[in-house]
Structure 1
Amino acid sequence: MSPYAMSMLLSSLSAGTIITFTSTHWFLAWVGLEINTLAMVPLMSKMQHPRATEAATKYFLTQATASALLMFAAATNAGYTGEWTIMNMQTTIPSIMLMTALMIKLAVAPFHLWLPDVIQGLDLMTCLILSTWQKLAPFALLVQINGELNPTLMTLMGMLSIIIGGWGGLNQPQMRKMMAYSSIAHLGWMIIVLTHSSHLTMLNLLMYFIMTSSMFLMMMNLSSTSINKASMSWMKNLPLMSTMMLVLMSLGGLPPMSGFLPKWLILEEIVKQNMTLVATIAALSTMLSLFFYLRLSYTVSLTTSPTTASSKMLWRLKMNLNKVMSTMIIMSTMLLPLTPTILNLF
């Protein structure tokens, strides 16, 4: 793709998100989401491969459906209240329709089925954008209408996302699909706590961005898209393979990694709200996700795959340093001691 076209599409992505962030009117919020979608579709299909075209088509149809539902909900609410203000969502039916539209855009269970198929057809950089940046605009709207959301529905969808995110990733040999189910599970944690503490949701979203970015950047560096390829990547960059195990443990939420921080705080908040059963189910369901993270880390760090490579010392050659990836890895693994400072920021 031409650098000019790429810069225009990335600028449109940024502009769409910023428009949604700053809007107080439903029409402007919808325009921002549409700009985001229309800029993302060419990025998805730039590989000129049937699988990429299929992924872009599925993404466009899903997002168009969600946008139409969102606009219908906003118009229905305007008919009831006479206002298009985002914060003024006081009627039950439009608020449920709006919540459904945003959950489809975020791929929260039970509206998650499009995400693994779409991610599997994309290159790793587009996967990174879809898994991180594209979550910002819908989350901005969710936080703004936080007071009008149904806590019971949010809790049910959050628990379902955690369970399905863990269950779906158990048998996956493809790392992109594994990261898609990981995304669904992490979104479940954010959705559960959103109606009780939006600042914890924002903290969890930030930690999810950091850990997911680290993982995708390492996959790009090692050109690994499946467990089999990852098991042979130790020849390319041995220190990075060792670090990948730590990032996977952080994604699983094991202490003393940074990924433990949001889960710990969210469980504490849920228990404070007298939702002990929900906290127990969420904590136990995380074991499903932890299993496939452990399986992948065992494969990449503790086993050696049979290989016919003529040289086993490629990792001794000088590698190009990626400062962004290094920073993300450090933040993915070492932020837990800074918990009090981070809580003050949020």
Structure 2
Amino acid sequence: MNPHVLAILLYSLGLGTTMTFASSHWLLAWMGLEINTLAITPLMTQQHHPRAVEATTKYFLIQATAAAMILFASTTNAWLTGEWNINNMSNPTTNMIIISALALKIGLAPAHFWLPETLQGLNLLTGLILSTWQKLAPFTLIIQVAQNTSPALLTFLGISSALVGGWGGLNQTQLRKVMAYSSIAHMGWMMIIIHYTPQLTLIALTAYIFMTSAAFLTLKTLNTTKINTLSMAWSKNPALTTMTPLIMLSLGGLPPMTGFTPKWLIIQELAKQDLPLTTTIMALTALLSLYFYLRLCYTATLTINPNTTNATTPWRTKTTQNFLPLTLTIIITLGLLPMTPTILTLTT
């Protein structure tokens, strides 16, 4: 892709998200979401193969449907209240429609079916943008609307997403689909607590972005998209292969990695809200996700592909890739747990 075109598209991605962040008017927020969608569409089709075009078409249709629902609900709310203010969502019907549309946008269950198939058709860098940056603008709107939304709806979305994310990833062989179901499960954890403590949602979203970035950049550096090829990673980059299981365990939420922080705080807050059943279900769904992360750890470190090469030199070949983003995200993914008290102080 032409560097100037790429720069314009990335600038448009930033502009769309910033517009939604800064808006208090539904029409301006809707325009930001549309700019985001239009900017990422060419990035998704840059590989020019049928699978990428199919993924882009699915993504565009889903995002257009969700945008139409948001426009319809915000117009209905303006007709009923006389205001376009995002914080003035007093009508429960329009609230429910907007939450449903935003859930469709970010791939929450039961509106998650498009996400694994779309992510499977993209390269790893575009998949990284889709899994992280594209979640920011819709989540900003969800946080603003959630306080006026029924807790039962948010709990349903959270539990169903955590369950689907855990069950769906169990039998996958494609790493991009595993990351898609991981995304669905993490979105469920954020939704379950958003009505009670939005600050914890922001902590969980930030941790998710860093952990997912580390995972995608690791897979890109190892040049692998399937579980069976992950067993060959040791011959390409032994040091990074050592870090890969730790990144996956952090995504699963095991201490002492950073991923334990949001799950621990969310379960603690749910218990304080006197929701023992919800707390138990969410803790059990974490075990489902942890199982398929352990599968990846086992494949990467404890198995050797039958078709392994006899040469011992592939890992010595030089690469032109920039390792700074990968290094930073790995450090943050593995080492922020001791900073939990400071993070809580800054966000509460």
Common fold by TM > 0.5: yes
Q: How does 1:304-343 map to 2 (within 5 A)?
A: 304-317=304-317, 322-343=323-344
Residue 75 of structure 1 aligns with which residue? 75
Letter in 2 for 1:153: L
For the residues of structure 1 that align with 2:89 and 2:160, how far apart are their CA atoms? 25
- CA shift, 1:319, in A, is 5.5
Counterpart AA for 1:19: M
Give the number of aligned pairs: 346
Amino acid aligned to 2:189? W
Q: Which segment is superposed worse, 332-341 or 208-217?
A: 332-341
- 29-38 or 298-307: bigger deviation: 298-307
User: Match of 1:264, as an amino acid?
Assistant: W
Match of 2:105 in 1: 105
Three-state SS of the structure 2 residue aligned to 1:148 is: coil
Q: Which residue of 1 aligns with 2:346?
A: 345
When the two structures are superposed, what TM-score results if normalisation uses the length of structure 1? Answer: 0.98
In structure 2, how many angstroms separate the alpha carbons of the residues matched to 1:201 and 1:106? Answer: 15
Report the counterpart of residue 192 of structure 1 in structure 2: 192
- Which residue of 1 is the match for residue 91 of structure 2? 91
Letter in 2 for 1:268: Q
Amino acid of the structure 1 residue aligned with 2:22 = T
Structure 1 distance, partners of 2:309, 2:346, is 49
Runs of 4+ that moved beyond 3 A: 316-321
For residues 335 and 24 of structure 1, what CA distance do their matches in structure 2 show? 33
- Cα distance in 2 for partners of 1:86, 1:176 equals 34
CA distance in 2, matches of 1:316, 1:344: 45
- Structure 2 distance, partners of 1:125, 1:317, is 22
Structure 2 residue identity aligned to 1:119:
L
The equivalent residue for 1:57 is 57
Residue matched to 1:46 = 46
Cα-to-partner distance string for 1:201-250 (whole Å, 9 max, x where unaligned): 00000000000000000011010100011111110001101100000000
Kindly report the root-mean-square deviation, in angstroms, between the aligned alpha carbons of the 2 structures: 1.0
| Per-residue deviation, residues 165-213 of structure 1 (Å, max 9, x unmatched) | 0000000000000000000000000000000000000000000000000
Describe the SS at the equivalent of 1:24: coil
Q: Residue 157 of structure 2 corresponds to which residue in structure 1?
A: 157
Letter in 2 for 1:164: V
Shift of 1:317: 4.9
Distance between the aligned counterparts of 1:191 and 1:91, measured in 2?
20
1:44-84 per-residue CA deviation (whole Å, 9 max, x = no partner) reads 11110000000000000000000000000000101110111
Report 1:1-346 matches (<5 A). Answer: 1-317=1-317, 322-346=323-347
Structure 1 stretches lacking a partner, 5+ long = none
Q: TM-score w.r.t. structure 2 length?
A: 0.98
Q: 1:120 to 1:340 in 2, by over 3 A?
A: same
Give the AA of the match of 1:61: L
Question: What does the per-residue CA deviation read over 1:113-154, in whole Å, with 9 as the maximum and x for residues that have no partner?
Answer: 000000000000000000000000001111112321111110
SS of the aligned residue for 1:119 comes to helix
Distance in 2 separating the partners of 1:319 and 1:79: 58
Gapped regions of structure 2 (runs ≥ 5) = none
Structure 2 Cα separation of the partners of residues 322 and 309 of structure 1: 25
Determine if contact 2:108/2:187 at 8 Å carries over to the other structure: yes
Are the counterparts in 1 of residues 229 and 305 from structure 2 also a CA contact under 8 Å? no
Amino acid at match of 2:152: T
| In 1: Cα distance, 2:345 partner to 2:217 partner | 29
Q: Distance in 2 between matches of 1:324 and 1:68?
A: 36
Percent identity over the alignment?
53
